[in-house]
A and B are shown apart, each in its own frame.
Chain A
Amino acid sequence: MNALRRFAERAIDVAAIVVFVAIFGCVIGQVVLRYVFNNPMTWSEELARYLFIWCSFLGWIIASRRHGHLAMSYVAERLPPRAQALLSAVIALATLLFAWILGSRGMKLVTNNWDIENVAVPFTLGMVYLIVPLASVAIAAYAGAGLVDSVRKLRYGT
């Protein structure tokens, strides 16, 4: 389980770095070709936009892992530990619900768009949207881990 987790997180990190470098490459390449060689690329902008969708969801996953998402924790931090644990269990359950909705509807989005060709890049829109269900699985996994954690805290104290 832990080995799987390590492998998955490593893969996500590598994917995030590759995607981001590719985005930068697209935009800077577009600038150089358009203004220096006066030869605009047709596909760079479209590719950059699609990579940005991936980058956003990969970042969403990484922020979930590092507990980096913004929240108004001001009230919750002042609650007694048991109430805090209960609250985080409820939040984890709500996250699981949302991940289920986003993932299942995201899957529908993928199948609906699987054959829709793009103008300038050699993959379909459905492939772009594949990151939606993938990210939902990851978000659900972290929420599940959080749920186990807070239930343990509820049962055995902190």
Chain B
Amino acid sequence: MITTMLVILAVWFVVLFLGPPIWLAMGLAGWAFLQIAGIPDIALAQRIAKSADSFPLLAAPLFILMGNIMNSAGITQRIFRFATVCVGWMRGGLCHANIVASVFFAGTSGSAVADAGGLGTIEIQAMVDEGYSPDLAAAVTASSATIGPIIPPSLPMIIYGVSAEASIGALFIAGVIPGVLMAGALMLMVRAIAIRLKLPRHPFPGFGDLWRALREAFWALLTPLILFAGLFGGVFTPTEAAAIAVAYALVLGLAIYREFELADLPKIILDTVETTGVVMALVMTASLMAYCLSLSQVPQAAGAFLTGLTDSPLVYLMIVNVILLVVGCFMEAIAAMLILVPILVPTAMKLGIDPTQFGLIFVLNLMIGTITPPVGIVLYVTAKVAGISFERVTRATMPFLVPLLVVLAAITVWPPLTTWLPRVVLGR
């Protein structure tokens, strides 16, 4: 069975590069395994349908809807304007503003692609208009977009939490410190580059402008706090908190910013259902594959192998980092997550690694994978937005991997960065 599965995985991996929808490759790989193993293939339909039968997973479409409403309510411009006023006076001001805006935006969105495609359009335009090279603009946009799914809400964390049976609320809260660290590390990097390239800066805006920009963006900046208030002490489940966040976004768009009309809602909901379908097609077929994996005993064999390698948590985490970084280069994040969770998580739990820390390491690795070639969806989106080639964006983004890898190393080596805040907030 193990050999069969490994052969199927190898074929599947090659086929993926021919460009079929990823769900199709996973669905057929799962079916092939069921056929060869002689398992009634009604299990295929059952696994696929059953994996959507999950209340925690329901948080994902609600957060997607919240992000879409916020976007059409003109939040994105306000956030970028506020970030520009805050840090634009530093050397390389718009690079810093780009990063800071990603941090704020991360609180209203759970996906790196939304950050690169939504906020990125405004950021790159503004930077190019001020004489920054499109390469640098794209590189800063792509690398800071990875903060989106680290600071809550976060689609990858919801999916990780469901498949690894970890607390989604704890993962959300644990993302705050690493997310801010990522922004800080990226800004240090920008500072070094800015001095060398003599990048422009804005004059200091004065407190009047600062106050006006803050007032404009205030209600949008409040979103993560609403989320936190809901999760505080575990009062609401993340799904309930997501529904409240949707209601908040509606009030924001309809009553406060008034850039959004009820007539826009059907289109926004359809877009939301489409994105949900894209994510769920991956989740459902990847769950089928994960089910086949468990039947094939591959996770058990891999687990035995991994436990044989080391009994030190730190060494194990290093091994996991290497595996995930390599896999992240070649595979789409959600598919990789659902397939690797049953292989890597049991050993981590056996070694006594904190589930929240492990989840953060897992997600951060795969988010770094979205900006590494040859398969980097965020690079791809950013290249489109910036109007330059994939190769150019990739080359420009590579240096910015360094600060992100430093943060990854930090949360790997020092658990309190990810375990302290959830313990305080959730009161466990």
Contacts and interface: CB of A to CB of B under 8 A. Distances in A.
A154 interface: no
B19 A27 contact: no
A63 B278 contact: yes
A52 B57 contact: yes
Given A13-B270, A97-B28, A70 B58 contact: no
Contacts of B45: 102, 105-106, 108-109, 129, 132
Contact of A20 (B19, B272, B280): B272
Interface string B3-17: 000000000000011
A28 B244 contact: yes
Contacts, number: 174
B274 A27 contact: no
A91 interface: yes
The bracket for how many chain A residues form the interface is 35 or more
B274 A62 contact: yes
Contacts of A13: 270
Interface string A23-35: 1100110110001
B24 A94 contact: yes
Interface in A111-158: 112, 128-129, 131-132
Contact of A71 (B19, B235, B242, B280): B19
Contacts of B375: 72, 74
Main SS class of interface, B: helix
B21 A48 contact: no
Given A45-B55, A49-B55, A72-B19, A24 B62 contact: yes
B10 to A, nearest CB: 16
A121 to B, nearest CB: 13
Given A71-B22, A105-B45, A109-B49, A31 B243 contact: yes
A53 B22 contact: no
Contacts of B18: 75-76, 87, 91
A93 to B, nearest CB: 11
Given A30-B240, A98-B28, A62 B270 contact: yes
A41 to B, nearest CB: 12
A17 B269 contact: yes
A98 B246 contact: no
Contact of B53 (A24, A52, A59, A94): A52
Nearest to B282: A70
B284 interface: yes
Given A49-B58, A52-B61, A70-B377, A101 B282 contact: no
Contacts of B58: 23, 27, 48-49, 52
Contacts of B46: 109
A85 interface: no
A62 to B, nearest CB: 5
A39 interface: no
Of the candidates B42, B242, B274, the one having the most CB atoms from chain A within 10 angstroms of its own CB is: B274
Interface string A66-108: 1011111111110000000001000100110110011001101
B74 to A, nearest CB: 22
Contact of A68 (B22, B27, B274, B380): B274
B239 interface: yes
Nearest to A44: B55
Contacts of B42: 105, 108-109, 112
Nearest to B246: A24
Contacts of A62: 270, 273-274, 277
Interface of A: 13, 16-17, 19-21, 23-24, 27-28, 30-31, 35, 45, 48-50, 52-53, 55-63, 66, 68-77, 87, 91, 94-95, 97-98, 101-102, 105-106, 108-109, 112, 128-129, 131-132
- 9 shortest A-B CB distances, which residue pairs? A59-B277, A76-B19, A56-B280, A27-B243, A105-B45, A69-B21, A60-B277, A56-B52, A63-B277
29 contacts: A17-B266, A23-B58, A24-B62, A24-B243, A24-B246, A31-B243, A31-B244, A52-B58, A56-B52, A56-B277, A56-B280, A56-B281, A56-B284, A59-B277, A62-B277, A63-B274, A63-B275, A68-B275, A69-B21, A72-B17, A72-B332, A74-B390, A91-B24, A98-B28, A98-B31, A101-B44, A106-B45, A106-B49, A132-B45
